[in-house]
Each structure stands twice: as C-alpha cells, then as structure tokens.
C-alpha cells in the first residue's frame, strides 16, 4: 500500500478463488495513474473487487470515492475489513453484484460516470467487449493473462506485462469524467 494507507496489510480469503493483485502490480498501476494525474479527487470503480486492493490503493493515493463491486460474500467480508483497517470506509460504496450486471445498469449507481475503472476478473474471463461497451469511465485498467483489445469507443493507451499478469490501460474516446486529467 502507498499513500495514506501505507504499511497496512490487507487480508484475503484463504483457499478461495480470489486472486489479489500483487504489491508490485498494484504499485505500478498506482504510479502510472498518478503520472497521468488520474487519481486526485477521482471517482473510482473497482469491478471484480475481491479484497478491494485496487480501489483502496486509489483512495490511499488521492481518489475521492470508490465503488467496489463484488459478488462473492467471503471476498466482500474481507473487503469491508480491509476498508476498516485502512480507515477509508467513509469514502467507499460496496455493492454485492455481478460486474456485468452492474455495468449494464442493474444498480442505480451504475449509471454514474467514473474517472477510473479497475477491472480484474478471473483470468478465464473473455467478455471484455461486452463489459467495456456500456462502461462509463474515462480510463479502464484491465488485468488479464494477455493484453486486452480495445472495443469500439476505447483506445489502448499502454499494455505492460508483470510476470503472468498483463495490465492494459484503455482510454475512453471522447469521455469527460469528474476530475483528474
């Protein structure tokens, strides 16, 4: 963890299907977004949130709000504990939902526009175009086992490999967000 939550350890479900983003990858993503001035005062969406590590990192580095979307009850319990441990729960909204349904406006806050969306699905996930199509965010940070191709309305800004993880930064064409740059 960097920023105001530096030094706090996050918990993850044991023996579970949650694959928390490694410290190295989380730090690289945070540094990239800071260099883009994308986090200061940002409204962040953390889809497939798991432990909440990416959204919590963003809050710790200056984001104003984060909405966490996760459907697994055990992962959500860890996420809520992690928010309490970092003292960032007042800046968070936690939603128990399937990520795709959430993005397709299954929840009232899904219609909101976000500055940054973190998308870290299971590596077998392959519905990127269906998920990104209706997503209203200025930047999407996609974690996968291979680079994510940009669907219509998005362009690839950068793609970096960290071991078995590939992080693709997508920019929404013509999108205006809440803040940042």
CATH no. for residue 92?
3.40.50.150
Asked if the structure places residue 93 within a domain, the reply is: yes
Domain annotation covers residue 147: yes
Strand locations in 54-164 (E) = 65-70, 92-96, 114-119, 137-144, 154-162
Instruction: Please give the backbone phi and psi of residue 128, each rounded to the nearest 5 degrees, phi first.
Output: -60, -45
Q: Would residue 181 count as lying in a domain?
A: no
Residue 179 lies in a domain: no
Average pLDDT over residues 90-118: 83
Chain-centroid distance, C-alpha 121: 10
| Average pLDDT over all residues of the chain | 85
Q: Which of 72, 77, 79, 128 is nearest to 103 (CA)?
A: 128
Task: Please report the pLDDT score of residue 127 as a whole number.
Answer: 92
Residue 15 pLDDT greater than 60, yes or no: no
Predicted confidence at residue 179, as pLDDT, reads 44
- pLDDT for residue 176 is more than 80: no
Containing structural domain, residue 114: 3-10+21-172
CA distance 146 to 157: 15
pLDDT reported for residue 166: 94
Residues 10-39 have a mean pLDDT of: 77
Q: Is the pLDDT of residue 93 over 90?
A: yes
74 sits in which H/E element:
helix 73-86
Q: How many domains does the chain have?
A: 1
Section 59-72 average pLDDT: 95
- pLDDT at 181 > cutoff 70: no
Q: Is the pLDDT of residue 111 over 90?
A: no
pLDDT at 75 over 70: yes
Does the pLDDT of residue 5 top 90, yes or no?
Answer: no
The answer to the question of residue 148 being in a domain is yes
Task: Using pLDDT thresholds of 50, 70 and 90, give the confidence band for residue 25.
Answer: confident
Determine, yes or no, domain membership for 132: yes
Token digits of residue 176: 């205006």
Does 178 map to a domain? no
Which residues are bridge partners to 119 per DSSP? Answer: 47, 142
Please give the Cα distance from 159 to 164 (Å, whole number).
13
In a domain, residue 16? The reply is: no
Mean pLDDT of 136-149: 94
């Amino acid at each position: 963890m960097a920023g105001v939550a530096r030094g706090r350890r996050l918990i993850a479900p044991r023996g579970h299907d949650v694959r928390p983003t490694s410290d190295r990858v989380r730090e690289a993503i945070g540094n990239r977004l800071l260099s883009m001035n994308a986090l200061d005062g940002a409204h962040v969406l953390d889809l497939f949130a798991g432990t909440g590590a990416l959204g919590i990192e963003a809050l710790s580095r200056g984001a104003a709000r984060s909405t966490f979307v996760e459907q697994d009850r055990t992962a959500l319990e860890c996420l809520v504990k992690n928010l309490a441990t970092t003292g960032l729960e007042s800046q968070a909204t936690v939603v128990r939902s399937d990520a795709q349904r959430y993005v397709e406006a299954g929840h009232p806050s899904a219609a909101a526009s976000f500055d940054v969306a973190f998308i870290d699905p299971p590596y077998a996930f392959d519905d990127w175009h269906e998920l990104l199509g209706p997503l209203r965010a200025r930047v999407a940070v996609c974690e996968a086992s291979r680079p994510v191709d940009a669907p219509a309305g998005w362009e690839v800004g950068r793609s970096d490999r960290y071991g078995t993880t590939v992080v693709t930064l997508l920019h929404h064409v013509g999108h205006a967000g809440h803040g940042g740059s």
